[in-house]
Structure 1
Amino acid sequence: MKVNTGHLSYCTNIHAGKNWAEDFKSLQQNFPVIKAALSPEQPMGLGLRLSNAASLELIGEAPLMAFSQWLKANSAYVFTMNGFPYGEFHHTIVKEQVHAPDWTTEERKNYTLRLFHILKQLLPEGMEGGISTSPLSYRHWFKSTEALEEARKTATLHLVEVLKELIVIHRETGRNMHLDIEPEPDGILETGREFIDWFENDLLPLGIPEIRAAFKLSSAEAETLIKNHLCLCYDVCHFAIGYEDHAAVVTALEQKGIKVGKIQISAALKADLTGPAPENIKRSFEAFNEPTYLHQVVALKNDGSLLRYPDLPEALAGLEKGVTQWRAHFHVPISIKKIGLLESTQDDILTVLEIQKQKPFTKHLEVETYTWEVLPESLKLPITQSISNELQWVVNTEI
């Protein structure tokens, strides 16, 4: 739905589905209820998530027509998509396989191109569209500096192939769409700084010659097109886990002329460990130690350095001396600040939304709380109520 600074929706990766038929059934059951609660009088957008299998089914003319008709009948529209998880995202062990196949593969490239061709058909006239994606790959799969650098190069060149297609689509149809890279803990691109460095040191040097040759442009024109079609997905949870300075990141992006495609409004878990009973805090985190998703932990030490754990079990194995805070990659409800002895990083969301309010840096706002099925029972609510609460909380910030 339209808010003061852009379009607000929720990511449908919350709805479990193995194929398009199951995805569509979930949307038909849940979306009208959510829309009635949040946006009864105006159209409401969807942040659509499709697995590879679902995308292969929806790309057909008849399914796309049927879905388009349903969107129109329900006063709904699709403006952003989540192209990060390729396969199943619920009822299976996901962990680091959420990155697979990664951007070093043709499979990831072809899946993303297919999503853009679906979005091209669904995107309302005159509205920009975006698809978020993996930060190249999972860094721990590469055991040497040389292997990691080769993966960065191969992945970047595959991304450039997608950018070429987006340029062609824009020229042929007027549809302006961008691919939004989503840094996250233990991705090849993990932080705002790493994303900016990759953009300047890898993407532009590799991409400018390719775009320039393909479209007979100057280097400056090629760079402008890259910056139009390749953006950052600002997942607040991921940036909060790394204790990043949101204002500094947004300012650096602006100074470099790099755009933010969308804000994913999400919260992590955090806790202060300087109190008298850190073992109680540790036990509280144990309630969130579930086997489906990666829950990386970043610990802040009293000297300001960061200590990174690849998953919650490794952090729970022991409490390091000199650690003042833990932040864990667990997308908890954004509308909740206190969770027993723990907290959410809700304050980070408020900081980012205030920056957006004062000087909008994107038009796409997407709530992404996808862990409802694996939350402790005390935090579970019916799914339509849960999503409505999340969206209403954002609306109440007057964004």
Structure 2
Amino acid sequence: MKLANSHISYCSNIHPGEAWPDHFQELKKHLPKIKAAVSPDQNFGLGLRLSAQAAEDLKDPQKLLEFKIWLKDNGIYVFTMNGFPYGDFHIKEVKDQVHAPDWTSAERFQYTKTLFDLLNELLENGQEGGISTSPLSYRFWFEDKSQAWKSKRDLCTKNILLIAEYLFQKEVSTGKYMHLDIEPEPDGMLEDSQEFIEWYSEELIPMAISYFQEKEKLDADQAKAIINRYICLCYDVCHFALEYEDHEKCMAKLEELKIKIGKFQVSSALKVKLSEDSETRENQKNKLKEFNEPIYLHQVIAKDSTGNLIKYKDLPDALNDSNDSTHVEWRSHFHVPIFLESYGKLDSTQEDILKVVRLHNEKQRTNHIEVETYTWGVLPKTLQVPIEESISREINWLVEKIKS
């Protein structure tokens, strides 16, 4: 749906189906009910997630036409896509393989181009489109700061640069503006705003200047303008909350550097203020164990009494650390429902969402806002309700906060 100048929706990665017929069946089952609950009187936008297999399926002209007709008949439109998870996202263990194949690979590059080709077909005339993607790679696949690390980063950066060139050519030939939105997350090769900004300013921009000067005879300002237009940040509120980011300072820095936010992904992490009482503290950890499931990574970032951050690759690593007496807070990567502030002994980072909404209301930062709570199926049973009801409640809660 559209609220003022913002398109607001949810990401379809919550629905299973790696082959297009299976995913389309899920969309047909759930989307009309969600639209009726949140946007009965106007068209409803969708954040579409396609696996590589589904994207290849949808390249078939007949399948694509069928989808476009269904969208039009149901008052639904696609304005953003999630190109982060390449393969299976529901059935088996995902963990760090959510980054595979990474941006060093021809597979990731071609998959992203295919998504942009499809989005170009699905976008309405005059509609801006964006696709979020992996923060280059998973940092623990390489020895940090080694020569191999640098070579891999350079290759990732070159492939991102080539996507920018592709999108520039697309806009020239079709008139449709689309951008790639890099999504930092804990343990990604780019895991927070500082790492993203440093990569963007010190690696991507210089490489682009050299590339476009040599190939197209463009000057430095022209090359930088191409990158600023087509390579943006996917501002995942859950991920930034996990890193204890200062949202106001972060957005001010992005604005100063003319780095655009392509999309807000609105989601909450788990948060627990650790008690000094040993028994209460143990009860808090036991409650957190209920969220320990085997499919996704649930990184934990702790803050100690001096403000230092201590990082764990997954929830079990944190739970098994008996030397955490100085920790005052834990935040865990688990996209929990955004309309809930607390879960008994545990809290969420909902406050970060409210801060981001306030900043957006003060000054619009992006046209694309997407709720991304994809863990309904692995939540504790006490928190699971019918999927249409869950998604509708999420969107309606967010819309009310944006309006207020």
TM-score range for the pair, normalised by the shorter chain length: over 0.9
**Deviating runs (4+, > 4 A) in structure 1?**
none
Shift of 1:198: 0.3
Q: TM-score, normalised by structure 2?
A: 0.97
Residue from 388, 391, 395 that aligns with 1:387: 391
1:43-66 per-position Cα deviation (integer Å, ceiling 9, x unaligned)? 010000000000000012111111
Residue ranges of structure 1 left out of the alignment (5+ in a row):
none
Q: Does 1:287 align with 2:298?
A: no
1:243-282 per-position Cα deviation (integer Å, ceiling 9, x unaligned)? 0000110000000000000000000000001342211111
User: Which residue number corresponds to residue 149 of structure 1?
Assistant: 150
Paired letter, 1:289: N
Paired letter, 2:311: R
Moved more, 154-163 or 212-221: 212-221
Paired letter, 1:388: S
Shift of 1:112: 0.2
Shift of 1:212: 3.5
Assess if the C-alpha contact under 8 Å between 2:18 and 2:50 holds in 1.
Answer: no
What does 1:229-248 align with in structure 2 at a 5 Å threshold? 229-248=230-249
Residue from 286, 308, 313 that aligns with 2:311: 308
Secondary structure in 2 aligned to 1:143? coil
1:118-164 per-position Cα deviation (integer Å, ceiling 9, x unaligned)? 00000111111000000000000002422221111110001111111
Assess if the C-alpha contact under 8 Å between 2:335 and 2:374 holds in 1.
Answer: yes
Secondary structure in 1 aligned to 2:127? coil
Shift of 1:216: 3.4
User: For residues 219 and 96 of structure 1, what CA distance do their matches in structure 2 show?
Assistant: 37
Assess if the C-alpha contact under 8 Å between 1:17 and 1:23 holds in 2.
Answer: yes
User: Which residue number corresponds to residue 379 of structure 2?
Assistant: 375
Q: Does 1:352 align with 2:379?
A: no
Assess if the C-alpha contact under 8 Å between 1:281 and 1:342 holds in 2.
Answer: yes
User: Which residue number corresponds to residue 226 of structure 1?
Assistant: 227
User: Which residue number corresponds to residue 161 of structure 2?
Assistant: 160
User: For residues 212 and 12 of structure 2, what CA distance do their matches in structure 1 show?
Assistant: 33
User: For residues 256 and 77 of structure 1, what CA distance do their matches in structure 2 show?
Assistant: 32
User: For residues 179 and 253 of structure 2, what CA distance do their matches in structure 1 show?
Assistant: 20
Assess if the C-alpha contact under 8 Å between 2:130 and 2:180 holds in 1.
Answer: yes
User: For residues 321 and 305 of structure 2, what CA distance do their matches in structure 1 show?
Assistant: 17
Paired letter, 2:241: A
User: Which residue number corresponds to residue 202 of structure 1?
Assistant: 203
What does 1:1-399 align with in structure 2 at a 5 Å threshold? 1-145=1-145, 146-276=147-277, 277-319=280-322, 320-399=324-403
Assess if the C-alpha contact under 8 Å between 2:132 and 2:182 holds in 1.
Answer: yes
User: For residues 62 and 223 of structure 1, what CA distance do their matches in structure 2 show?
Assistant: 39
Moved more, 209-218 or 78-87: 209-218
Paired letter, 1:384: E
Secondary structure in 2 aligned to 1:398? helix
Shift of 1:5: 4.2
User: For residues 32 and 214 of structure 1, what CA distance do their matches in structure 2 show?
Assistant: 48
Secondary structure in 2 aligned to 1:397? helix
Kindly report the root-mean-square deviation, in angstroms, between the aligned alpha carbons of the 2 structures: 0.9
Assess if the C-alpha contact under 8 Å between 2:237 and 2:264 holds in 1.
Answer: yes
The aligned length equals 399
User: For residues 212 and 143 of structure 1, what CA distance do their matches in structure 2 show?
Assistant: 33
Secondary structure in 2 aligned to 1:67? helix
1:175-202 per-position Cα deviation (integer Å, ceiling 9, x unaligned)? 1000000000000000001100000111
User: For residues 331 and 299 of structure 2, what CA distance do their matches in structure 1 show?
Assistant: 8
